[in-house]
A = this chain, B = another copy of it.
Amino acid sequence: MFSHNKRLQYTVHVSEPNPGLANLMLEQFGGPQGELAAACRYFTQALAEEDPGRKDMLFDIATEELSHLEVIGNIVVMLNKGAKGHLAEGVEAEGEIYRSITGAGNDSHLTQLLYGGGAPLVNSAGVPWTAAYVDTIGEPTADLRSNIAAEARAKIVYERLINLTDDPGVKEALGFLMTREIAHQKSFEKALYSITPSFPPGKLPGDPRFTHTYFNLSQGPGDTRGSWNQGEQWDYVEDSDACLAVDGGSGESSADLSAPDAELTQQFAERTASDPAMDPVTGADLGSSPILDEIENKTSTKKKK
């Protein structure tokens, strides 16, 4: 069960409202790398987790991410603080309000107009948050790697937001949030490497014919070798033609059909065949070709009432 304290995990002070900046901060509120995504990711993993240590860790971190969602949400709300009343109370000249929410350096019209200057769960372009951002699949050696990557991404987006603002209170709170992503990544790394083995993920081994092969499918200027495709652990297939039908078969696909199925498939194919022996007049011809003008005119004349 969750409980809540109206004090934040980190104090937020904003020097000056700035709805345009608030809009950018939404990236970490309702954006794909943001705190709702993080909280949902770890919370749902915690629910289904069989391992007591990971379950506890996932609940700890999910709860902290919810608390971070609250911190970044407060940053958004404080940056919108002044603007909110203008549109709701409508006391100014209309042109003034219009200019203030659509002016240069301010893409906040959606936030003001649709969401009333609150903190909506959208990214900085106004795209609603979707659980399609959460890539949990219920296998810890995969999910922990997903968590490590998610923390790395969130750290970078915070870094970019920090580079965008010179409000010291905003910078400091963002710095705290960014730092926690580093700490969380470290925890997830520890939990991953405490599973042995953790690679390859899952239970089935790979087919040994193809675990060490590197296919050089992009040819031409810029071909480069490095530890990712050279060294004793790699078989490097240089030529793309050698990548075709690597099983040694025909490289075709086939299915054994029952006789009635085969017949129906054939019937469909015949009914819808494009005859390569024909060079038909087409709609594009009708719409463009001067050589058809005569024919068309004659025909439409005939058809006119």
* In contact, B287 and A88 (Cβ under 8 angstroms): no
* In contact, A160 and B113 (Cβ under 8 angstroms): yes
Which residues of B have CB within 8 Å of A164?
Answer: 87, 94, 97-98, 101, 113
User: Given B145, B196, B240, B244, which contacts A152 in the complex, CB threshold below 8 Å?
Assistant: B145
* In contact, B155 and A200 (Cβ under 8 angstroms): yes
Q: How many angstroms between the C-alpha atoms of A8 and B253 in the bound complex? A: 8
Q: How many angstroms between the C-alpha atoms of A261 and B84 in the bound complex? A: 9
* In contact, B273 and A195 (Cβ under 8 angstroms): yes
| Least Cβ–Cβ distance between A268 and chain B, in angstroms | 5
Q: How many angstroms between the C-alpha atoms of A228 and B255 in the bound complex? A: 29
Q: How many angstroms between the C-alpha atoms of A110 and B157 in the bound complex? A: 11
Which residues of B have CB within 8 Å of A138?
Answer: 84, 88, 115-118
Which chain A residues (98-141) contact chain B, with CB distance < 8 Å?
98-99, 101-107, 109-110, 112-141
Which residues of B have CB within 8 Å of A90?
Answer: 159, 162-163, 203-204
Q: How many angstroms between the C-alpha atoms of A194 and B253 in the bound complex? A: 26
Q: How many angstroms between the C-alpha atoms of A50 and B274 in the bound complex? A: 10
Q: How many angstroms between the C-alpha atoms of A63 and B243 in the bound complex? A: 11
* In contact, B304 and A2 (Cβ under 8 angstroms): no
Given A14-B256, A179-B207, A280-B286, the answer on whether A82 and B137 have CB atoms closer than 8 Å is no
* In contact, A156 and B127 (Cβ under 8 angstroms): no
